[in-house]
Structure 1
Amino acid sequence: MALVLILQLLTFWPLCHADITMTVPTASYPKPWLGAQPAAIVIPGVNVTLRCRAPQPAWKFALFKYGEITPMLYRVVSAELAEVFLEEVTPAQGGSYQCRYQNPGWALGVWSQPSDALELLVTDELPRPSLVALPGPVVAPGDNVSLRCTGRLRDMRFALYRVGEAVPLQYHNSERPWADFPLPRASAPGTYSCYYHTPNAPYVLSQRSEPLVISWDGSGSSDYTLGNLIRLGLAILVLVSLATLLVLDWRSSC
């Protein structure tokens, strides 16, 4: 009798643990999409909703956080979307999240591929950017110069300031972790700084970059003036030559 009971327990053991063991899925179980509202970068205290959307009907969702073996939670729904509400998030809740789903037509214990990782950042301030001049901070008259503000995050909004002016000179939205600000030649010399922030509210801002000084190239200015003097001298020489020819022609005609 005891032997029969043990065999029955061994038979039902996989069924009892089917929801915990994630069977490695095949390509026929497409991954879901995971997003955050209002944003994936927020300040502490904001309410965040994580949304896991399946590409086909699902009946169960699981949310994972990187570094944790077991799922944070399950959601049993008969839809293609599951929402997880995080109330007044703290920096400790930041991290990398993924989700999976189950389809009612799949075998027991089979889950979809994991979604792409969602990086949730909970912080009061973004890392300080850097500001550099391209091709360099010393500009020859007539040359073009561009300032590059580089942060650590993509899809940010960048602003360029000139020291002494309260209003930003330029704004740029960038999908890359940097933005380029071309400067007009006449207004290039000066001291500049930049910062970046999340594109939508609630806004999270970075500190301003270290100031960058753009100055004229003195040697370039001298070369530029010398070139003008040479051109002026050649023009005078041509005029003198023409005047001499006219005088000689007038004398010969007399």
Structure 2
Amino acid sequence: MLSKPAIWVRPSFMIPKGRPAVIGCRGAGEAVEYQLHFEGGLSALERPKSPPVMNLVKFPIPAMTSHTAGQYRCSYRSGELWSELSDPLELVVTGENVTFRCQLETATSTFFLLKGGRSGRPQLRYGNLRAEFHLGPVTPAHRGTYRCFGSYNNHAWSFPSKPVKLLVKGDTGDTTFAPTEHTSSDHFLWNHTVQNLIRLGLAVLVLMALMGLLLEDWLHRRKSRERTHGASHRGCRRRL
């Protein structure tokens, strides 16, 4: 078994849009070939210079874009054996114009983009299966967690998408645009249809409770009338 390679990036894992970067991968033993994997697929091959210098190769990124941002791993070959993949390296691009893309599997008429914790009106776009929300050059005011919805009518929205967190670095507008997982601190925005069903269920429960009280009162009055009627018949028989 070959040991796991080491991977790193220079100058930083946060790279401004259009700037170059270099990913380094270091193997062990007599490494003769290196592979760079991007988002689970093979991205590049590189052979070390002869003679090899410290079992190290470099994979250049000429200009950073949203297409080159993501997760990288590397591996190396010694003889006929390939090493396991390195630990993941996450690269993010900063200083971009941000566009949110929303998509539904079922046709809808309207899409909404909602920023978490904001009480204002959501952004609206029309589309059938997908829509795009262009934020333009971002500022610190855009920082936050976003979700999108599809609207089937004015009162029925789809369930929210997974949250996407937009991070803004300092006051320069450098951004990180990355999906996040649901956590216990996430505040889910409920589907209007679900809320309506809950209200309807509560109304039915209240109605059933009122009907039960009315039925109980009617039975009580009926028993009282029967007792009174029975007492009157016994009194008549005694007089006869």
Q: Same fold (TM over 0.5)?
A: no
TM-score computed with the length of structure 2 as normaliser = 0.40
- Higher RCO by CA contacts (8 Å cutoff, separation 6 or greater): 1
